[in-house]
């Protein structure tokens, strides 16, 4: 920092440091003394992706319903703020700051979207407050602050699994269609890298606006290139429903082109809105509702007790649930010490019996190591489902693998 000091004008970084000292100097863990653990939640609760915030919140509530609102003798309080979804990240940064300074949050759980997590990174570092990333999935995020721990997934985990699968299953050429921002670039890069290393060839690519709802022209151009397969990523909700419906309307699969998507595009809870558009679609994800393990049996049972007998949880509910599980375990490990650095250190190496299967926080990268399930869309018990036919165990973020 000092090497970039230039005369009387403080650099941006120095200015940030000064501002942080002023802002956070008095914010140090007041709540441990009053017997509270305060968790700030920064989630999209309005706008095009409002459903996502509700899913994470449901997961957090479900975890507390099962495990209670006390940990290591502390009463757990959550304070929720709406970051309104993807954008510049300015709002997410401001909300994060307010939660830490005004609400005395000991840590944050949040960020569905990469730009929001990215914008908060420097602030979290200066404040020395941990943030458990509830979804944002661009690989590099965890390198942007030593206080980030990820409870979700990385796009390279999913895209590389599909790139390898495609090359081994007769796909020779592919065309990629991804949302035009960091996670989309990660998905495109890692699909291409793994697919081509195994002998395939990407013959064309398109990047679409993050909230695109009209995929017809993009699909038309992809079909004209006549690839064996289309690989796609887009960030869930109505955007992914629009994408999947457009593939059906354009007759992509009817034309003999295989469709492969990152599993967030065909999240279990979106399938009723997509109908037979998911027929035959290959996807990769770290969770699906019918996983056969004791943690998932409990999770689904309690979810249905909360939301109704036929309710199908989004994978995002699991991420909220696991984020909370990580926090509880870390606070147990520190014996109720809420110092931010102690909490991050405690999260390193934690293993959870998650509804998704076993989950490990890689102590070296603070990223999640987990099973990736390869699935095919089909009918089961009279409904459209993602039917898993392969499990790739203990996948690390390939972008960080040595
Ligand atoms: C992200 O912005 O990192 C992101 C958002 C939604 C997804 C996946 C990744 O479904």
Top mutation candidate among 243, 264, 269, 317 for ligand 1, by most atoms within 8 Å of CB:
264
Q: 142, 183, 239, 269: which to mutate for ligand 1, most atoms within 8 A of CB?
A: 183
Would the CATH topology of 12-153+298-366 be identical to that of 156-285+372-395?
A: yes
Q: Does domain 156-285+372-395 have CATH number 3.40.50.2300?
A: yes
pLDDT in tens, 158-195: 999 999 999 999 999 999 999 999 999 999 999 999 99
pLDDT at residue 401, as a whole number: 72
* Nearest ligand 1 atom to alpha carbon 181: 2
Quote the pTM value. 0.94
pLDDT at 181: 98
- Residue 3: is its pLDDT beyond 50? no
Higher pLDDT, 197 or 7: 197
Q: Mean pLDDT, the chain, as a whole number?
A: 93
pLDDT tens, residue by residue, 40-49: 999 999 999 9
Tell me which residue has its CA closest to atom 2 in ligand 1.
113
Distance 198 CA to ligand 1 centre (A): 27
Ligand 1 residue neighbourhood (C-beta within 6 Å): 112-114, 135-138, 183, 235-236, 264
Average pLDDT of span 267-283: 98
What mean pLDDT do residues 72-90 have?
A: 97
Tens of pLDDT, residues 308-327? 999 999 999 999 999 999 99
pLDDT for 8 equals 37
Where does the pLDDT of residue 300 fall: very low under 50, low under 70, confident under 90, or very high at 90 and above? very high
Domain positions in the chain are: 12-153+298-366, 156-285+372-395
Banded pLDDT at 10 (limits 50, 70, 90): very low
Q: Which CATH superfamily is domain 12-153+298-366 in?
A: Response regulator (3.40.50.2300)
3 CA to middle of ligand 1, Å? 37
SS (H, E, C) the chain: CHHHCECCECCHHHHHHHHHHHHHCCCCCCCCCCCEEEEEEEECCCCCCHHHHHHHHHHHHHHHHHHCCEECCEEEEEEEEECCCCCCCHHHHHHHHHHHHCCCCCEEEECCCHHHHHHHHHHHHHHCCCEEECCCCCHHHHHCCCCEEECCCCHHHHHHHHHHHHHHCCCCEEEEEEECCHHHHHHHHHHHHHHHHCCCEEEEEEEECCCCCCCHHHHHHHHHCCCCEEEEECCCHHHHHHHHHHHHHHCCCCCCCEEEEECCCCCHHHHHHHHHHHCCCEEEECCCCCCCCHHHHHHHHHHHHHHCCCCCCCHHHHHHHHHHHHHHHHHHHCCCCCCHHHHHHHHCCCEEEECCEEEEECCCCCCEEEEEEEEEEEEECCEEEEEEEEEEEEECCCCCCC
């Amino acid at each position: 920092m000092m090497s970039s000091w230039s005369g009387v004008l403080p650099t941006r970084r120095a200015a940030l440091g000064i501002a942080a000292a002023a802002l956070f100097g008095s914010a140090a863990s007041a709540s441990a003394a009053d017997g509270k653990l305060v968790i700030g939640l920064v989630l999209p609760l309005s706008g095009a992706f409002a459903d996502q915030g509700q899913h994470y919140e449901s997961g957090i509530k479900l975890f507390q319903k099962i495990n209670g609102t006390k940990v290591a003798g502390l009463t757990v309080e959550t304070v929720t703020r709406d970051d309104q979804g993807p954008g510049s990240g300015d709002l997410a940064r401001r909300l994060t700051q307010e939660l830490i300074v005004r609400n005395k949050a000991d840590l944050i759980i949040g960020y569905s979207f990469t730009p929001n997590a990215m914008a908060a990174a420097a602030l979290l570092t200066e404040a020395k407050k941990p943030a458990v990333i509830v979804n944002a999935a661009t690989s590099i995020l965890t390198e942007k602050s030593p206080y980030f721990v990820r409870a979700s997934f990385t796009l390279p985990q999913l895209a590389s699994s599909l790139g390898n699968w495609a090359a081994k299953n007769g796909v020779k050429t592919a065309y990629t269609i991804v949302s035009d921002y960091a996670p989309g670039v990660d998905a495109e890069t890692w699909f291409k890298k793994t697919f081509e290393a195994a002998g395939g060839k990407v013959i064309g690519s398109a990047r679409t606006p993050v909230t695109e709802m009209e995929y017809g022209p993009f699909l038309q151009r992809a079909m004209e290139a006549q690839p064996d397969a289309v690989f796609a990523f887009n960030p869930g909700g109505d955007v992914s429903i629009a994408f999947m419906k457009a593939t059906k309307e354009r007759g992509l699969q009817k034309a003999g082109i295989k469709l492969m998507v990152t599993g967030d595009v065909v999240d279990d809870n979106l399938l009723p809105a997509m109908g037979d558009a998911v027929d035959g679609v290959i996807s990769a994800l770290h969770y699906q509702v019918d996983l056969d393990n004791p943690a998932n049996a409990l999770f689904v049972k309690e979810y249905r007790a909360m939301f109704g007998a036929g309710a199908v949880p989004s994978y995002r509910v699991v991420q909220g649930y696991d984020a909370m599980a990580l926090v509880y375990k870390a606070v147990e490990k520190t014996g109720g010490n809420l110092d931010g650095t102690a909490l991050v250190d405690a999260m390193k190496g934690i293993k959870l019996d998650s509804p998704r299967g076993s989950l490990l926080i890689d102590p070296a990268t603070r990223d999640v190591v987990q099973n990736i399930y390869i699935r095919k869309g089909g009918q089961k018990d009279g409904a459209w489902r993602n039917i898993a036919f392969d499990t790739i165990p203990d996948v690390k973020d390939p972008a960080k693998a040595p």
